[in-house]
Amino acid sequence: MKKFKVVVTDWEFEDLRYEEAILDHDDIELVRANCQSEEDVIDVCKDADGIINQYAPIGRKVIEKLDKCKVITRYGVGINTIDSEEATKKGICVANVPDYCIDEVSDHALALLLNWSRQITCAHQNVKNKKWDFKLTKPIYRLKGKILGLVGFGKIPRALAEKVKPLGLRVIAYDPYYPEDKAAEDGVSLVSLDQLCKESDFISIHAPLTEQTQGLMSKNEFGTMKKTAVIINTARGPVIDEEALIDALSSGEIAGAALDVIENEPIDHDHRLLLLENVILTPHMAWYSEESEMEMRSKAALGVKEVLLHNQYPRYLVNMEVKNKLGLNESENEDSYALLSK
């Protein structure tokens, strides 16, 4: 029997030890690639049975050339690198890892909120510059009683909501897909985006990047926000209209921003956000801990293994419509996934 060819299109890790451990099987050949363009992906993946993807583009042009591929898994939550609609037409399963960094991202969003609220970065820099003067951080306001608005109310923002409640924040959320009664059980009021912008002292972005959410936070939303409001983004950069954000920050229309993601990464050295003192930036690291990295990589590999070796749908199948084309079994590896989540 010919071995299944599994290609890792690209990665930013030191090695592939977790993937190798999951896919260590006589019937699997693991191919390590360094793809940057669609042409690179086509060249190495045209005869692949399974693909694990990070940033390399897998659009329609690529998928049309995948003659043997049964499954594409992506490191992380978003699948914006993959044309899942085209994959469905071709009968290819697309899977992600939606639950590997719930604590990490919610912790990071909370850290950015607290950092801004207490002006930690500003104070630290002042002291390093030999300026021992609390007045340089003014104004600072009491956190208790403030309102946190969550754009999106999936697993990560729900975790964040629980973490901020002991601090005395009231939480509201905008999510047109989340049931109001379930939000009420969580002690959170669902509101319109306009109302959220008007009422919130802090707005934390947790929406996935889609055609509907690209540029969701733009000139109109910033114009509606309080002048003392701060926007936090640990989701995807393009959910915020960056030019509109810079204008709002520069003019004092809003107080500040704390961003782990931007429209185009990595940030250019002459980017205007770097010139603004009312911005805190981190390098797309909210997802990361040693544990979450291991979990993400292992689960991405396990999704490929389920399809190729067990004839099962990956547990985290995204394009459910593909079930109309394939006759695989449902995933039976709940224990394996549960162990990886600990």
Q: Note if 236 is an active site residue.
A: yes
Give me the sheet containing 28-32, strands edge to edge: 28-32, 4-8, 50-53, 71-74, 93-95
Q: What is the dihedral of CA 54, 56, 62, 63, to 10 degrees?
A: 10
Q: How far apart (Å, rounded) are the C-alpha atoms in residues 53 and 117?
A: 37
Give bridge partners of residue 329 from the DSSP assignment. Answer: 312
Q: Note if 14 is an active site residue.
A: no
Catalytic residue among 39, 64, 265, 330: 265
Q: What does the block give as tokens for 63?
A: 């998928």
Q: Which helix (H) or strand (E) holds 34?
A: none
Cβ neighbours for 61, distance < 8 A, ≥ 6 positions apart: 38, 42
Q: Note if 199 is an active site residue.
A: no
Catalytic residue among 158, 236, 297, 315: 236
Catalytic residue among 32, 272, 284, 310: 284
What does the DSSP assignment read for 43-95? HHHTT-SEEEESSS-B-HHHHTT-SS--EEEESSS--TTB-HHHHHHHT-EEE
Give catalytic residues, as residue numbers.
236, 265, 284
